[in-house]
Structure 1
């Protein structure tokens, strides 16, 4: 095994197979899907690469110790025994987050507090000084996961959630999470082999993620930092090598990626974000109302992915709005695969088209559906033949 170790990549509901495929494609070993996570084996360089390149991961954790416990004292004692001096110094800062699924323990905040007490007491008793707590920019982020009586202590190599790619400084109302956008695109089969349209692009997240997939640009190339950069064993030369070799794998893209939004404020924000992501040459943004558009070339293949309003935060007549989506697709967009996500199941019925796929996802806490409409070109008879 050499210097390989087990890691866990956390993800969203329904994205486990996507993340497992991404990990295998990157070269991970022993890839195993869990519930909203995928475990795998690799070395330190691979940990850097996973943080940099994975599109559907939220965090990459490095488990350092597992043990069985049934009460807080056993937790405290087990954490106290760990060799914390290998991972941090007394003059550094830490933050701890905990996830608990157990009858023995009820409160994750209390578990995090107990873990912190054990670590700082260990330093105070052995070195006379203790690390401080810093929730925003700690030197070391620690994750505690308790499943029944099994407790795993991990180092969080990512820091802020990996959906925070670093390109999005301006957001609109109800922006879509970058990991959710990337996962939707991958589920839709987007591979950069035709033109792409997001007809309601908001702050531009879906077109940006679509361009990064099409050009094979590492998902987190614009992030200002990863947590592992503050670790005691951080190897800057290795990380720079990994970045260089990942950037060498980018590819040219010979189609169009277009985003429409009718709100001037959203359009301006999207332009800023596309510029921040260094993707202005690949993405065209237009201040347009989708319902007043139609496809320029009826025969060309078009891939569409979008996130329409759900009525959660915007005051719109949802039923007629979703009816207009169906009408516009039917009359203006032949030869198009159109995918959209919504949590508004009632409004979805007003689209008036039969979806060929429905995938359950969560947008934040909202249970949603990613649906696919296949718009065919030609007469009704031809459509029937293509559908059957």
Structure 2
């Protein structure tokens, strides 16, 4: 299709394959996973759709130019080769986000400043006027990436990171990023075909993402704005059409999604966020200490959670993780339990052997997403049936 163009979806380390799968399922062309990114092709409508529907993307970039930059002059000249009046008027605003991995350029701030000068000078020379920089609500967000001598210039179609879903207004001390939560759920194989429990739900992020996956609700349907809404070629009618087509694909969910937290303040915040996401019909939250609970029915249970690490929350790690393992072993048969931890030492105290370990990052912390399979009766009996 001649209207298709190249795009890049940025993501976290470890999510490249699931993001590629999401893109393929949405209908993207020429999907290729990279490192912390997936490249693909689509048209303008697909660009809107990707921003609305992708659960594991942090940003969608639209590359517009590539050139070699090995000093200040070549950088300035390369940026000036783009006709910026295609994307912005002299009375509008822009901002530049620069990332630099190069021997020729040491500081991303310096690169951003040089690129800004090139754009401003182009307008001043042509029109006598110049656009200004607005770091908070620009009309155009430009992404510059320099790797060695390659300079890639892209338009940021998303604006604020796509983990800002729009439903979370209340958070606790250590909230989990929404994209990280969605990625953990997809890696765990959560598909909405069993009961679900987050036994330490905090502000409810994993619960909200689990419910949206189960009901096929677009991840960013509650978001207030995307960067492309300020573009010259913004098509409101097309956007509404894409929203409606995505909402037609939502589905009913016939199991229970439940969250526990022992802190009353967390329970209140989680309920607020679930209400903001319009998911209160699907999610129930209770004030309970997981270590005092038991599985509520005999069917299979899918569990995904983010226990405290001792990084920002003060806990007695050894005792906490030992209790966690004991509770799973004694009280939660027929359960697949997944959790993330950045404290790799703490896993020794769980007293159970994980059947899977996946390397991820929670912010700057290297973490593991681990899976514990709790069988009905003993594991041995399971395989003798």
Please state which band the TM-score falls in when normalised by the shorter chain: over 0.9
Alignment-derived partner of residue 125 in structure 1: 125
Which residue in 2 is equivalent to 1:198? 198
Cα deviation, 1:70-99, whole Å, max 9, x if unaligned, reads 111101011112100000011111111011
CA spacing shift, 1:385–1:360, aligned 2, 3 Å: farther
In the alignment, structure 1 residue 143 sits paired with structure 2 residue 143: yes
Give the distance between the partners of 2:235 and 2:383, measured in 1 at CA: 59
Question: TM-score, normalised to structure 1's length?
Answer: 0.98
Give the secondary structure class of the aligned counterpart of 1:361: strand
Q: What residue number does 2:27 align with?
A: 27
Listed as ranges, the matches of 1:36-115 within 5 Å are 36-115=36-115
Instruction: Tell me what 1:208 maps to.
Output: 208
The residue number in structure 1 matching 2:375 is 376
What is the match of residue 339 of structure 2?
340
Cα deviation 1:29-82 (Å, max 9, x = unaligned) = 000111100000000000000000000000000001111121111010111121
Secondary structure (helix, strand or coil) at the match of 1:94 reads strand
Q: Deviations over 1:366-386 (max 9, x none)?
A: 000000000001246415648
Q: Tell me what 2:357 maps to.
A: 358
Q: What TM-score do you get using the length of structure 2 for normalisation? A: 0.99
Deviations 1:129-186 (A, max 9, x none): 1111111110000000111111111000000000000000000011000000000000
Q: Are residues 1:313 and 2:336 paired?
A: no
Aligned length: 385
Rounded to whole Å, the distance in 2 between the matches of 1:75 and 1:36 is: 25
Q: Secondary structure at the match of 1:345?
A: coil
How far the C-alpha of 1:316 sits from its partner, in A, is 1.1
CA distance in 2, matches of 1:351, 1:376: 16
C-alpha separation in 1, matches of 2:364 and 2:69? 31
SS at match of 1:61: strand
Give the unaligned 5+ runs of structure 1. none
RMSD: 0.9
Runs of 4+, deviation exceeding 6 Å: none
Post-superposition CA distance 1:346-368 (Å, at most 9, x none)? 11110000000000000000000
**Counterpart Cα distance in 2 of 1:168 and 1:131:** 34
Counterpart secondary structure, 1:329: helix
Structure 1 distance, partners of 2:165, 2:352, is 35
Find the counterpart in structure 2 of residue 241 from structure 1.
241
Cα distance in structure 2, aligned partners of 1:272 and 1:379? 40
2:92 and 2:247 mapped to 1: Cα distance? 33
Describe the shift of the 1:380–1:220 C-alpha distance in structure 2 as closer, same or farther (beyond 3 A).
Answer: closer
CA distance in 2, matches of 1:216, 1:279: 12
